[in-house]
């Protein structure tokens, strides 16, 4: 049985008045109790008028609430076709609910039963090939994964990659995501143990070989691997840059440090430099090798960035009892690992950081000196790395070559504006 209530503004006012009446009841009860305490009588009863006001307020409030809550609805499945009588409602009041809040419980059970039947039927049928919608959805999910991965771990290149030509963006983010995957291998490998990491690097090498058709087999069900298969512009991308990007990581597995500054520079050339060259491979129009000027500037910028990243990693690595600074520079400045931990040899530490900053600044100036010889379409691939290097070189100089100031672990707050300026003037 239904109790229809026609919509009218009056019930809202009635509900508000009933709410005020309930508040008045609460105040009256408190006042009555205080009065009994004053006359030293026990609090055992309330006056009849308070009871009457309370029940009337509740009844009027509930009834007026139905005006904008919705009509009552049956949720008993066995009474859907029965006539609505008082006997049904009176015997089963709990089987009714407001229309906008209650759902037929038995109907949901029917839906569950039907879904089970559908699943059983699907088990008996042959598997159908994935639809076009599923394929497109999978592409979107893989690209979204790469986008989020790069945004969280390589924000500067994320911003600059967003301004690349549309036909390059998918290729660029898959390459940048691969670089993040390789760079974060260190976090899951214990000190001086590189066996597990070698297997993971081999996983990525096998994936690249499979994508290029060198090896046969399925692509691993890993979002970045699937994105590389879908988006990497293989015909115009030199596989050797991918090989260098992977093999260079083996030198630092297990947090093994560098013996000389030259080793560190070669590491930057093979990692950051290879990433820049892979971005340029996606930008170029024809299946031709990259210009020597592009390769040279990418190598110089890779060396500059890896030195700055090395300085930025000192504090996080010290927390793991790891020191990756070049041993030749530490020997030159009479700096020992213990002094670096305790901060005892402050002047030697400042001199070492100063040498690293000057070397990085030299390579950055070399990369920028020849930018006029680079086609304008390639320059956006250099922006993220160039801006990162420039921002932290200025910060280190401003902070007297300290490596523990907070801004060293953050990005340039004006990065979007500066990247937009570089995009506008075709520079880096």
**Per-domain boundaries in the chain:** 10-124, 133-425
Mean pLDDT check: name the lowest of 62-76, 87-101, 105-119, 129-143: 87-101
Residue 96: which H helix or E strand, with range? strand 96-98
Residue that wins the pLDDT comparison between 150 and 345: 150
Q: What percent of the chain has pLDDT over 70?
A: 76
Q: Is the pLDDT of residue 223 over 90?
A: yes
Residue 259 CA, distance from chain mean position: 35
Residue 72 in 3-state DSSP? strand
- For residue 277, give the nearest of 247, 261, 300 by alpha carbon: 300
Q: Answer left, alpha or beta for residue 71, where phi above 0 means left and psi between -120 and 50 means alpha.
A: beta
Q: Helices 292-312 and 261-270, interaxial angle, to 10°?
A: 120
> What does the pLDDT read at residue 8?
59
Which residue has 């600044």 as its token pair?
A: 361
> What does the pLDDT read at residue 369?
93
> What does the pLDDT read at residue 119?
43
Highest mean pLDDT among 7-11, 38-42, 185-189, 289-293: 289-293
What number is the average pLDDT over the span 131-155? 85
Round to whole Å and give the CA distance between 194 and 424.
44
Round to whole Å and give the CA distance between 24 and 12.
19
Round to whole Å and give the CA distance between 158 and 152.
9
Residues in the chain: 428
Q: Is the pLDDT of residue 173 over 90?
A: yes
Cβ atoms within 10 Å of 169's Cβ, excluding its own: 17
Round to whole Å and give the CA distance between 166 and 164.
6
Tokens of 69: 């809550």
Q: What is the pTM of this model?
A: 0.68
10-37 pLDDT tens trace: 777 777 787 788 888 887 777 777 766 7
Contact present, 342 and 328 (Cβ < 8 Å): no
Which class is domain 133-425? mainly alpha
Residue that wins the pLDDT comparison between 95 and 248: 248
321-374 pLDDT tens trace: 888 899 999 999 999 888 888 888 889 999 999 999 999 999 999 999 999 999
- For residue 159, give the nearest of 312, 380, 365 by alpha carbon: 380
> What does the pLDDT read at residue 189?
62
Q: Supply the DSSP string of 322-350, one letter for each residue.
A: ---S-HHHHHHTT--HHHHHHT--HHHHH
Mean pLDDT for the chain? 81
Contact present, 379 and 427 (Cβ < 8 Å): yes
Q: Is the pLDDT of residue 85 over 60?
A: no
Q: Is the pLDDT of residue 136 over 80?
A: no
């Amino acid at each position: 049985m239904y109790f229809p209530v026609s919509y009218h503004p009056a019930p809202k006012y009635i509900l508000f008045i009933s709410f005020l009446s309930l508040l008045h009841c609460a105040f009256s009860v408190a006042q009555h109790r205080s009065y009994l305490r004053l006359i030293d009588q026990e609090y055992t009863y309330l006056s009849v008028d308070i009871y009457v006001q309370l029940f009337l307020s509740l009844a009027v409030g509930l009834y007026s609430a139905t005006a904008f809550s919705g009509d009552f609805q049956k949720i008993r499945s066995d009474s859907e076709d029965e006539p609505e009588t008082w006997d049904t409602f009176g015997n089963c009041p709990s089987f009714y609910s407001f229309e906008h809040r209650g759902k037929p419980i038995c109907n949901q059970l029917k839906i569950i039963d039907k879904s089970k039947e559908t699943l059983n039927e699907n088990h008996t049928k042959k598997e159908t090939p994935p639809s076009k919608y599923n394929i497109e959805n999978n592409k979107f999910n893989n690209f979204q994964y790469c986008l989020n991965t790069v945004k969280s771990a390589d924000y500067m290149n994320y911003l600059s990659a967003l301004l690349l030509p549309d036909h390059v963006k998918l290729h660029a983010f898959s390459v940048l995501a691969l670089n993040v995957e390789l760079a974060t291998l260190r976090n899951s490998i214990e000190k001086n143990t590189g066996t597990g990491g070698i297997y993971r690097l081999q996983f990525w090498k096998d994936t690249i070989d499979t994508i290029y058709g060198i090896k046969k087999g399925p692509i691993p069900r890993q979002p970045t691997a699937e994105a590389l298969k879908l988006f990497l512009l293989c015909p115009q991308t030199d596989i050797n840059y991918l090989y260098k990007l992977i093999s260079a990581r083996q030198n630092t597995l297990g947090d093994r440090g560098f013996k000389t500054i030259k080793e560190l520079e070669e590491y930057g050339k093979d990692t950051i430099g290879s990433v820049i060259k892979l971005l340029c491979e996606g930008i170029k129009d024809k299946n031709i090798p990259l210009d020597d000027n592009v390769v040279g500037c990418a190598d110089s910028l890779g060396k500059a960035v890896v030195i700055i990243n090395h300085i930025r990693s000192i504090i996080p690595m010290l927390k793991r009892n790891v020191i990756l600074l070049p041993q030749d520079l530490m020997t030159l400045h009479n700096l020992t690992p213990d002094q670096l931990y305790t901060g005892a040899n402050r002047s030697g530490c400042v001199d070492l950081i100063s040498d690293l900053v000057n070397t990085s600044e030299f390579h950055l100036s070399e990369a920028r000196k020849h930018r006029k010889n680079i086609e304008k379409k390639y320059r956006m691939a250099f922006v993220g790395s160039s801006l990162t290097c420039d921002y932290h070189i200025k910060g280190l100089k401003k902070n007297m070559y300290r490596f523990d100031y907070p801004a060293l672990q953050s990005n340039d707050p004006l990065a979007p504006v500066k990247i937009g300026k570089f995009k506008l003037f075709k520079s880096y």
